[in-house]
Structure 1
Amino acid sequence: MSYQFSIISNENLDQIIPLVYELNDFKISEVILKTRFNEMKNQNYECAVILADNELVGVTGMWFCTRHYIGKSVELDHVFIKPEHRGNGLGKQFMAWINNYVIEKGCNSVELNTYVQNNPSHKFYFNEGFEILGYHFLKKL
């Protein structure tokens, strides 16, 4: 199978909502996801996708910022590849493509969060050279 990696326009973010919905454990409604993605369009956000024969099979959001401890950085968000496309090196190819893309944009680092219970992702990210920097805390208001 042939895969293509690309950045989609923020105007086309509605296309990724079904994949992000499948990823989220909290089952935030697709209506709320659409509202939130509409807000994200104007917040230093870009979206990379994986296409297989014009079908969307993978996605990750990218938040660009400058951090005091590392410089220009990108934080990956909602990284997801459909289960039937996993286990064939696609994730590794996607990460390599993302790394090249963000280096071209001047980034010094890539950061991400992953759910504590998602052990397969931890192994994958360790194998990709990521290190644990700290804990991500969340307080709902």
Structure 2
Amino acid sequence: MKLVELTTVPEMLAQIEVMQHLYPKLTLEKYESYLQEMVRHNYKQVAVFDNDICVGLSGFWTAIKLWTGKYIEIDNFIVHSEHRSKGIGKIMTDYIDVKAKAEGCTAIVLDAFTGNFTAHRFYYNQGYEPRGFHFLKMLNEDGLT
């Protein structure tokens, strides 16, 4: 297994198939337009490769909020279904932990859907805990990927 930090739009676009495991309707055009904006706002990805095949991928952002100061937010955490329970997720969260500490972050945050109990168990096992609710007001369901 090889871990690589992806920092450019072309590097990220090359792994669209993995992202489509989470968002099957995601088109290359839409993904590229989103990434063009996201990369300008500190968005990066960490990818795990097994023999040149991406088997795990997670986006992450570094930002600042009043209540936390500097933090990293994990976004779109994916391990290919055929490669789960092989430690790939832990490789990615360990990398993000080291990165957050090196950058002086006070916290790592993420969202997990309320019904995704497999993800909840994984994040609990990695030392994460729920501290609140992420509320949203949906304005356009058709705009979702």
Task: Give the TM-score of the pair, scaled to structure 1.
Answer: 0.88
- The equivalent position to 1:121 in structure 2, one of 108, 119, 123, is 119
| Distance apart, 1:31 and its partner CA | 2.7
- The equivalent position to 2:27 in structure 1, one of 17, 29, 35, is 29
Distance 1:32 1:90 in 2: 27
- The equivalent position to 2:57 in structure 1, one of 56, 59, 69, is 59
The equivalent residue for 1:18 is: 17
| Distance apart, 1:94 and its partner CA | 2.0
| Distance apart, 1:103 and its partner CA | 1.4
The letter for the 2-side match of 1:38 is: Q
Distance 1:64 1:19 in 2: 22
Distance 2:90 2:56 in 1: 12
Give structure 2 stretches of 5+ with no counterpart. Answer: 140-145
| Distance apart, 1:23 and its partner CA | 0.8
| Distance apart, 1:13 and its partner CA | 1.8
| Distance apart, 1:140 and its partner CA | 3.2
1:1-141, aligned counterparts within 5 Å? 3-11=1-9, 12-24=11-23, 27-141=25-139
Give structure 1 stretches of 5+ with no counterpart. Answer: none
The 3 A distance-change label for structure 1 pair 116 and 29 is farther
